[in-house]
Amino acid sequence: MNNEVVGRKRKIFTFAVALFGALLLWMYAIGYDTEMASETYTGVVVEIMGVNTNGYTVADGDSFSLSVDVRLEGTRQLLSGIDAADLSAYVDISGVNGPGLTTLPVTVVAPNGSTVESVSVPNVTLYVDVFTSRTIQVNVEKTYTSAYTIGQMKQDAYVVTVYGPESIISNAEAYAHFDLGNVVTGSFNVSGNIQLRDVETKATISNPYISLSRNTVNVTITMNSKKTVPVKLVMKDTDFTSEEVSFATDLSSVTLEGPVYDLSKVEYLTVTCDDSIADGDFSRTMTVSELLAENDVPTTLSAEYGEAEFTYTVSLPAISFANIEIDASRIFVYGIPADSNLIAEAIGDLTVRILGPYQEVLTYKSELMTVMINYNTMEKDPATGDYIGIAEISTGNNHICVVGNYTVPVAEMTLQVIENTIS
């Protein structure tokens, strides 16, 4: 009986111990399920919400990247079943009511029963606007101290496409500025940065969210200068020269403007007169532009008042010049020693220039002239072996004179040579 009692007591004890253990385990489980705790979850990706709901987008929205660490509070049992993938975070721009920089909170969505205790980046500053593009003209500006002026300019880009916040680029203008200093050359190339500025305030625009289709512009600049050239008369198809007539005009010179190199090609401009002057005075009216065209002036050059008319008149003077040819048979050598058997004669004809009253020069005949050469003044020309004599010219008319001094090549021979030649 004692063994039976002992066995029964042992069973009761074992059951009591098991019951107590189960009670303790149940009490522990109840405590674990209700005990509050905190846990940090890393690498929660933040997204942008509300894009275009109010017309705005975020600068660099496509490349926006932000991850945050989130600390949650909840029961141990709840937190133990949560990982970072169960959390989501976002920044909502739908409430933004104006363009520019704005600071917005990072909102975290956590599983039910948990509370967001903290976020490693609680707020984010974003640039929001309506992002668009527009094509605008590139203006080239320059400063210089040279006496030259800016002539032709050629750019390799006249427009640029600008992308960025509409509130800024809608009132922007593009330009490139060149400080040329004291330019002393005719044509050259320069390269400059394209910049943006506000049309009204002229303040430079510096915004990291603006981009240009190109950043530089290359310009070829031709410098212009001015040059005053005289207007001269040219006699064409006539026996008269410009110096022999009277020339009157209300345009004695023309001021040209254009590239320095082209200006250097023009020393003077000419007007012409033909043989109609023999019938009296010659007069012509023309424009300055016609004068440039007749002189083949480069089209890059221009003259002030190019379409203005001017008149020039050519008149025969009271005296005139003419060129007279004297036959060799009328050129005589004197002063040859009488006891010598020498003979000397001119080699070829002689052309001289005469000056006198117009009508007398016009009808003058060369037969009235004689040319004498003093044998004692002749000198031998070492280059040809011929003798050179100084011509003493008589016009046979007191109103006409010879202009200039002339020499005549003379051949010297002996009478014996002449006799042998004849025989």
Residue 5 reports pLDDT greater than 60: no
Q: What homologous superfamily does CATH list for 225-318?
A: YbbR-like domain (2.170.120.40)
Domain 225-318 identical in fold to domain 320-422: yes
Residue 422: the pLDDT is 43
CATH number of the structural domain 320-422: 2.170.120.30
Look over the chain and give the mean of its residue pLDDT values, rounded to a whole number.
Answer: 87
CA triple 340-342-345, angle to 5 deg: 145
Spell out the residues 6+ positions from residue 299 whose beta carbon is closer than 8 angstroms to its own: none
- Which stretch of 106-110, 129-133, 169-173, 313-317 has the lowest confidence by average pLDDT? 313-317
Residue 24: the pLDDT is 61
Residue 413: the pLDDT is 78
Please write the tens of the pLDDT for every residue from 199-238: 999 999 999 999 999 999 999 988 888 999 999 999 888 7
Residue 420: the pLDDT is 44
Residue 421: the pLDDT is 45
pTM above 0.75, yes or no: no
Residue 423: the pLDDT is 45
CATH number of the structural domain 36-129: 2.170.120.30
Q: Provide, rounded to the nearest whole percent, the portion of the chain with pLDDT above 90.
A: 56
Please write the tens of the pLDDT for every residue from 301-321: 999 889 999 999 998 777 888
DSSP 23-72: HHHHHHHHHHHH-EEEEEEEEEEEEEE-TTSSS-EETTGGG---EEEEEE
As a whole number of angstroms, the distance between CA 353 and CA 319 comes to 13
Contacts 24+ apart (CB under 8 A), 403-408: 403/321, 403/352, 403/353, 403/354, 403/355, 404/352, 404/353, 406/350, 406/352, 408/331, 408/346, 408/347, 408/350, 408/371, 408/373
- Which stretch of 20-24, 66-70, 213-217, 333-337 has the lowest confidence by average pLDDT? 20-24
Residue 416: the pLDDT is 47
Residue 288 reports pLDDT greater than 70: yes
Residue 8: the pLDDT is 64
Residue 11 reports pLDDT greater than 90: no
CA atoms within 13 A on the CB side of 334: 9
Residue 399: the pLDDT is 84
Over range 62-85, report the average pLDDT. 92
Residue 20: the pLDDT is 64
Q: How is the chain split into domains, by residue range? A: 36-129, 225-318, 320-422
